[in-house]
Amino acid sequence: MMYIFFAVLFVVPMWFLVPQFRLPQWAALIAIIPFGIFVLLWVMAFRDKIKIPGIDQ
């Protein structure tokens, strides 16, 4: 039960933040995976330096 609570706690804010970094909204679901939030935050922090195939032209 606590896992679902924390998953929602992380996914909902990411769902609104991710599009501001030119990432698809489904990428917010990475926050459900344990330690996935850290990967997502790392990508968001260095988004201007990372080229993502299929998203960046």
Neighbouring-strand partners of residue 56: 53
Per-residue pLDDT, 7: 85
**Can you say whether the dihedral through the CA atoms of 36, 41, 50, 28 is positive or negative?**
positive
Averaged over 20-48, what is the pLDDT?
A: 89
The confidence band for 15, taking pLDDT boundaries of 50, 70 and 90, is very high
| pLDDT over 70, % of the chain | 98
Averaged over 43-56, what is the pLDDT?
A: 81
CB 43 within 8 A of CB 23: yes
The answer on pLDDT for 34 being more than 80 is yes
The answer on pLDDT for 16 being more than 90 is yes
How far, in Å, CA of 40 to CA of 28, rounded? 8
Is residue 53 helix, strand or coil?
strand
